Structure 1
């Protein structure tokens, strides 16, 4: 019996992953209050967008050869406190 239940559970779980609907607050609940200093309340789609500072572009510049590191003033040994 367990062999019959496991595929059914996996199919149901896989089917739940494919939902492509807009996100909405639950019934009876509202979106969070507007940020301090802002008059209007942003919509859910605007709250889900990531600003460029939160996800900066990656630098894909690869090193072709090894280079000596410059002196790092913050590379200090641990203190004995």
Structure 2
């Protein structure tokens, strides 16, 4: 029982130690950053390249339904036709 507790504490310490710091993003040796986009004044930094765009992470619309009403009949809501066998 005591060894399990010590092993659990050691694993927890190892996990917590691994999530501490992150170094700045840099290109690998013999690699360059992407070219400057057309119309941009400067090349994007590593942080800007990693940040998701508005299209990738759109804002969420959490508007609640405030009024409910009966749906009218839909003339195109027909049952499927049976196929001849």
What is the TM-score of this pair, normalised by structure 1?
Answer: 0.53
Aligned to 1:24: 26
Unmatched segments (≥5 aa) in structure 2: 81-85
Please, which runs of 5 or more residues in structure 1 have no aligned partner? none
TM-score for both structures, normalised by structure 2: 0.52
Structure 1 residues 15-54: aligned runs within 5 Å: 15-26=17-28, 28=29, 30=31, 33-34=34-35, 38=38, 41-54=43-56
Show the 5 A alignment for 1:2-81.
Answer: 2-26=4-28, 28=29, 30=31, 33-34=34-35, 38=38, 41-67=43-69, 68=71
Distance 1:3 1:25 in 2: 42
Could you say what the CA RMSD is over the residues aligned between the two structures, in angstroms?
Answer: 3.6
